[in-house]
């Protein structure tokens, strides 16, 4: 949003209760003091973490620090800058090395301190951002936008200043609301983690705690998402995976990869087995064409009618039906295809006779059934 004019700030401030006004002024002052110290700390190479307090930063910074911001009120300029200019807002700063204390206007920061223009520019930029956040709160008050803190009260990590702001009826900024939702997400996640770990048996909990941290983190995430693997390919055995399952734990990605590779290997073996069976079948066909092979009818038909199909292959179909339970999975699909072709042909529709004979021949070979003379 656009920054409010000074007149609009004062006008909307009057919509607040005395307690709310004092809180907002105090909050803005504290935020500006903290930002002043953070900017100086970063310029001096000091790492500023979330858990470091303003007081601790003040101890570190041996330079000009902001002590307080004085406000003489709307329409008044009761304070003066060290340069003599009358001020509504006076920034009181202290030089920690010299013990010197002066009151300045915003435009005189660089002029009357040893702070570089770059540092002053960063400080003023942060001050303007804080003012924008204050303006956002006032705009929400003026437009009757409220915020219900009640659903978040179970979260025990809400900063005291946000909690105080919400409980006294002041709306939160969009940035504060986003931060609050992040805290709630983290809190809910920790609750789910606690519940997931609490559901483990003592022996399983001991096993879990002995795992490397990277594995524990992966498992915790899967426990939260209820990401469990419960089905395995036939014949698969793995002692480590069995141990995880016996403790009621999810599987690691590396373990799931082993299952996948096993499954792929089984598929490759089945494909190779079928290739060998097909090769053997065609070899038998070639052998049948030898001089000593029984007489077979070589037909050129691409399709046949139902009466011809049954006359030629009924006995073979009956033999397959008796032994169909012995068919491997791949051949079961071929057998279903053969049966479907018979039904289609019975309904008077055209079928691919070559495909019918090939599939029936392979099935006969698999079940060790003698093929009829048309196959």
Q: 346-374 pLDDT, tens per residue?
A: 998 989 888 899 899 989 988 888 888 88
Structure-model confidence comparison of residues 276 and 151, the more confident one:
151
Tell me the average pLDDT of the chain. Answer: 86
Region 336-355: mean pLDDT is 91
Q: Output the pLDDT for position 45.
A: 73
Q: What would the pLDDT profile of 32-85 be if each residue is shown by its tens digit? A: 888 888 888 887 777 777 667 777 777 777 778 888 888 888 788 889 988 889
| DSSP H or E segment with residue 64 | strand 64-71
Q: What is the mean pLDDT of residues 281-289?
A: 65
The structure's pTM equals 0.56
Residue 356: count other Cβ atoms within 10 Å of its Cβ: 22
Report pLDDT for 298. 58
- DSSP class per residue in 68-136: EEEE--TT---EE-TTS-EESEEEEEEETTTTEEEEE-GGGHHHHSS--HHHHHHHHHHHHHHHHHHHH
Model confidence at 281: pLDDT above 60:
yes
Nearest to 43 by CA among 28, 29, 57: 57
Helices (H) and strands (E) in the chain, counts: 14, 5
Confidence class for position 142, pLDDT limits 50, 70, 90: very high
**Domain residues of the chain, as ranges?**
6-145, 306-367
pLDDT in tens, 233-249: 888 999 999 999 999 99
């Amino acid at each position: 949003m656009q920054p409010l004019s000074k007149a609009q700030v004062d006008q909307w401030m009057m919509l607040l209760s005395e307690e709310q006004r004092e809180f907002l002024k105090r909050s803005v002052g504290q935020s500006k003091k903290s930002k002043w110290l953070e900017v100086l700390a970063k310029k001096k190479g000091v790492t500023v973490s979330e858990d470091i307090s303003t007081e601790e930063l003040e101890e570190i910074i041996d330079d000009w620090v902001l002590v307080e911001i004085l406000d003489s009120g709307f329409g008044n300029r009761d304070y003066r800058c060290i340069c003599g200019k009358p001020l509504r807002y006076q920034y009181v700063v202290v030089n920690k090395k010299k013990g010197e204390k002066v009151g300045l206007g915003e435009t005189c920061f660089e002029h009357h301190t040893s702070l570089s223009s770059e540092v002053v520019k960063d400080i003023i930029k942060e001050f303007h951002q804080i003012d924008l956040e204050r303006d956002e709160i006032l705009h929400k008050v003026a437009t009757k936008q409220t915020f219900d803190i009640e659903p978040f009260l179970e979260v025990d990590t809400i900063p005291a200043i946000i909690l105080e702001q919400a409980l006294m009826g002041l709306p939160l900024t969009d940035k504060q609301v986003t931060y609050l939702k992040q805290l709630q997400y983290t809190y809910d996640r920790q609750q789910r983690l606690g519940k997931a770990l609490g559901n483990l048996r003592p022996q399983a909990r001991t096993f879990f705690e002995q795992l490397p941290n990277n594995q524990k983190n992966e498992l915790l995430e899967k426990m939260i998402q209820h990401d469990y693997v419960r089905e395995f390919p036939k014949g698969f055995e793995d002692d480590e995976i069995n141990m995880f399952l016996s403790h009621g734990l999810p599987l690691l990605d590396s373990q799931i990869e082993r299952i996948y590779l096993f499954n792929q290997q089984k598929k490759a073996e089945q494909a190779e087995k079928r290739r060998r069976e097909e090769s053997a079948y065609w070899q038998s066909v070639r052998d049948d064409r030898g001089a000593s092979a029984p007489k077979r009818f070589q037909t050129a038909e691409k399709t046949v009618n139902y009466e011809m199909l049954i006359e030629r292959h009924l006995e073979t179909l009956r033999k397959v039906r008796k032994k169909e339970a012995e068919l491997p999975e791949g051949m079961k699909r071929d057998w279903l295809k053969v049966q479907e072709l018979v039904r289609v042909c019975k309904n008077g529709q055209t079928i691919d006779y070559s495909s019918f004979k090939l599939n029936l021949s392979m099935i006969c070979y698999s079940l060790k059934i003698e093929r009829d003379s048309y196959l």
